[in-house]
Chains A and B, each alone.
Chain A
Amino acid sequence: MMQEEDLLQVAADWKRAGREVALATVTATWGSSPRQPGSQLVVDQEGRMLGSISGGCVEGAVVREAIEVMADGKPRLLDFGVTNEQAWEVGLACGGKLQIFVERVE
Chain B
Amino acid sequence: MKLSLIDQLADLAAARQPAALVTHLATGAQTIFTPETADDAVAAAIADDRSGELEIDGRRCFVLVRNPPARIIVVGAVHITQALAPMAQLAGYEVIIVDPRGAFATAERFPGVTLSQDWPDEALEKLKPDTRSAVITLTHDPKLDDPALTVALRSQAFYIGALGSKKTHASRVERLRAAGFADAEIARIHGPAGLDIGAKSPAEIALSVLAQLTAARRQKPTSR
Q: Which residue of A lies closest to B7 (CB)?
A: A12
A interface bracket (residues with beta carbon within 8 Å of B): 20 to 34
Q: Which residue of B lies closest to A69 (CB)?
A: B28
Question: B52 touching A2 by the CB < 8 A rule?
Answer: no
Question: A9 touching B10 by the CB < 8 A rule?
Answer: yes
| Majority-rule SS of B interface residues | mixed
CB distance from A65 to the nearest CB of B (A): 14
Q: Of A23-31, A49-57, A80-88, which binds chain B? A: A23-31
Q: Contacts A8-B6, A106-B1 hold; do A101 and B51 have CB atoms under 8 A apart?
A: no
* Contact with A4, one of B7, B13, B23, B92 (Cβ below 8 angstroms): B92
Question: A1 touching B52 by the CB < 8 A rule?
Answer: no
B residues near A25, Cβ cutoff 8 Å: 23, 62, 64
B interface bracket (residues with beta carbon within 8 Å of A): 20 to 34
Question: A105 touching B1 by the CB < 8 A rule?
Answer: yes
Complex CA–CA separation, A3 to B70 (angstroms): 10
Complex CA–CA separation, A16 to B89 (angstroms): 30
* Contact with A1, one of B1, B7, B89 (Cβ below 8 angstroms): B89
* Contact with B1, one of A2, A23, A38, A74 (Cβ below 8 angstroms): A23
Complex CA–CA separation, A49 to B53 (angstroms): 25
Question: A106 touching B3 by the CB < 8 A rule?
Answer: yes
Complex CA–CA separation, A22 to B151 (angstroms): 45
Q: Which residue of A lies closest to B23 (CB)?
A: A101
Question: Does B142 count as interface, using CB distance less than 8 angstroms?
Answer: no
Q: Which residue of B lies closest to A40 (CB)?
A: B64
B residues near A28, Cβ cutoff 8 Å: 52-53
CB distance from B170 to the nearest CB of A (A): 37
Question: A1 touching B94 by the CB < 8 A rule?
Answer: yes
Question: B90 touching A2 by the CB < 8 A rule?
Answer: yes
Complex CA–CA separation, A8 to B51 (angstroms): 15
Question: Does A77 count as interface, using CB distance less than 8 angstroms?
Answer: yes
CB distance from B131 to the nearest CB of A (A): 18
B residues near A95, Cβ cutoff 8 Å: none
B residues near A6, Cβ cutoff 8 Å: 10, 13
- Shortest Cβ-Cβ A-B pairs, 4 listed: A38-B51, A75-B28, A27-B62, A12-B6
